[in-house]
Amino acid sequence: MLPPPIDEARTVSSVVLDKSGQWMTGFTVEDGIWRIKADLSGIDQRFIDRLISVEDRRYWDHGGVDLPAIIRAAKSWKSAGKPVSGASTITMQLVRQIEPRKRTLGAKVIESFRALQYELFLSKQEILELYLTHISYGGNIDGIHAATLAYFGKTPHELSDAEIALLIAIPQAPEARRPDLWPNVAKRGRDKILQKLADEEIITQLQFEEAAEIPVTVRKNPIPETAWLTAKSLKLESKSVHSTIDMDLQKDVEAIASQYLEQLPGEVNLAMTVVENETMAVRAHIASGGRGREGGWLDMTQRYRSPGSTLKPFIYGLAMDDGLLSASSWIEDAPTRFGSYQPENFNRRYYGAVRIHEALRHSLNVPAVAVLDRVGGQRFEASLQNAGMDLVRLGRKSEKAGLAVALGGTGVTLNDLAVGYAALANGGQARPLRWLESDPSHLGQQLLREDTAIDITRILRQAPTPEGRVPGWLASDAPPIAYKTGTSYGFRDAWSAGYSDKWTIVVWVGRPDGAPREGQTGRIAAAPLLFDVFSALPNGELADNYQDDEDAPLGLTSVKDYTERGPQILFPPDGVELLASEFGAEARGFTFSARTIDDEVQFFVNEQPIETENDRFVWRPKTAGFYKVVAIDGKGREAISDISVIALGQLPDPRF
């Protein structure tokens, strides 16, 4: 006869545990069977002792076949005319579980021979563990571990007298004694075991009476499946793996995300990764907000999506590393053409001369593209790739097309964004995410200089917070949060990526099918969830905050409402020089904007009214020169900006 199928016997459910060994998620084997590997050290010793007493009293002494038991069974059969007691050992029962056969005398002989083989190849402890892994508990439940999870909602580490007796009774008639289907039958079987244990003085009469009064469970618990999609990507065949997930934190984050999703339409989903900065361990992970939602079976943290403006901090950071600018450098925010590419600010307003920290803090598009053009699109992408942030280019693969990367013209995954933002929190050093406790701690790649990462962090800590959320640095017991939002073209993806000294979190909200959600920006749709999760995390140490420069443009800083004194020209600000690449009616023109109480305003340039195009004031200068811009509100109050227009070719490098 061939050797016993020991490898097949060791095919069990893959199990993913959290960082401390708590059950997170398991996966069934063939035919949807739950078969979780039994570990004697994790099973109540009283159960093991009582099981052996009932099923195979001489288990530790025989070699797989108990001859005295066979002789005793044969004698009782002869005297009674029918089988009265069995002679199958635990080892023989294991053989029957792994290689089921019809119950015949010939099958009994084969089982006996196989049992002898198992005893030769395996130790008694290994055989008992395999038995407690394979023994049927009815339905799709095999083994002690799966049974206690399904019927008691816990592991077999600590069991009551009633639970022990029920777990011994069910395998004697697995389908007939299923407590979820036939609780009364299960109770009678359990009570027989209790009576036998009492008769043999393994338990006292009082223990018997107390255990017999306990009703049998009538509801089958689902096997826990926390972070199912996350665990699916981490599982190893027939093994248990220790993930870096913190179950307590995971459940808190899932509850917050679930509550947040309840406010959103069913076709909308979300994803999130929470990283511990010091170790780069993923402590909470939501691959999808819910299986019942659109795309609920997709891991959206590994899908390439347009990141919107979330890459801007790295653009400015590389420029700082190159010595091209500092946080307080001035840059022109005005309509500018880069070859055939002419980006616009999100709100289609332009603010003239602004400081770099204002441009980043308020996510102005034109300055970011200008800086990327100076840094170089290819160098920027290569720097992120080397740091572990994989980018998928969109559109034409040319340098000019690459400038669109600044505004989301590329594909990136949420998990890779987490690597980048954690690098900002870790002094510019990018390291891979750790998903398993066994994963090594990598040295990492220096994405930005440490002083640059500190400067970027200070800027992002002063970004405007979502409505109703208090900035972290205003709360004495909360860490400051540096964060950036992003919105992809057509409102398809809403992002919010943030970090404190201790944590990095990236949030995505959108439709998995890529359909647009008009008006749903990262600030509106994703940032509130980011702040809600940060509020639930253990706080790190407080750090310094960043104050606005006193001479920052009034159009961007948080100031009192100047509209009480009349209109405020946001663009073009007084004294600004506008750079024009072309003149006349064919020019793209400059978009003027002003802040007023009633939104009623009229612009004049050198006393000539400016007409509106699609509800925007667009001015196309005919020549270079000096101009006087006047904005008049509905009450006749006015504001004046004296500006100059110069041709783009007049400056050696007009972008800075």
Q: Which residues are catalytic?
A: 55, 309
Residue 107 CA to residue 188 CA, distance in Å, equals: 30
Provide the CB-side half-sphere exposure for 346 (13 A, CA): 24
CA torsion sign, 529 to 549 to 345 to 394? negative
Q: Give the number of other CB atoms < 10 A from CB of residue 3.
A: 10
The first and second tokens of residue 73, run together, are 């069974």
The residues near 234 (Cβ < 8 Å, ≥ 6 apart) are 16, 241, 243, 435, 436
Residue 130 CA to residue 143 CA, distance in Å, equals: 9
Residue 221 CA to residue 600 CA, distance in Å, equals: 64
* Amino acid, res. 490: G
Short-list 377, 312, 365, CA closest to 335 = 365
Residue 517 CA to residue 495 CA, distance in Å, equals: 13
How many residues can be counted in the chain?
656
Residue 26 CA to residue 186 CA, distance in Å, equals: 26
Asked whether 654 and 579 are in contact (CB, 8 A), the reply is yes
Residue 118 CA to residue 92 CA, distance in Å, equals: 9
CA torsion sign, 591 to 592 to 597 to 602? negative
The first and second tokens of residue 581, run together, are 């690449």
Phi, psi of 128 (to 5 degrees): -65, -40
Ramachandran quadrant class, 86 (left: phi over 0; alpha: psi -120 to 50; beta: rest): beta
Question: 107 vs 101, 281, 583, 589, CA distance in Å?
Answer: 6, 53, 97, 91
Short-list 258, 3, 46, 349, CA closest to 168 = 46
Short-list 309, 312, 223, 219, CA closest to 522 = 309
Q: For residue 348, what is the DSSP state?
A: S
Helix (H) or strand (E) holding 361: helix 356-361
Residue 157 CA to residue 155 CA, distance in Å, equals: 6
Sheet holding 269-276, edge to edge: 281-286, 269-276, 503-510, 493-499, 482-487
Residue 452 CA to residue 457 CA, distance in Å, equals: 9
Asked whether 139 and 129 are in contact (CB, 8 A), the reply is no
Short-list 411, 324, 337, 328, CA closest to 369 = 337
The first and second tokens of residue 49, run together, are 């002792």
The first and second tokens of residue 387, run together, are 């740091």
Q: Give the number of other CB atoms < 10 A from CB of residue 94.
A: 28
Short-list 428, 233, 197, CA closest to 316 = 428
Residue 511 CA to residue 294 CA, distance in Å, equals: 7
Phi, psi of 300 (to 5 degrees): -75, -10
Give the residues across from 644 on adjacent strands: 577, 626
Residue 620 CA to residue 581 CA, distance in Å, equals: 11
Asked whether 601 and 345 are in contact (CB, 8 A), the reply is no
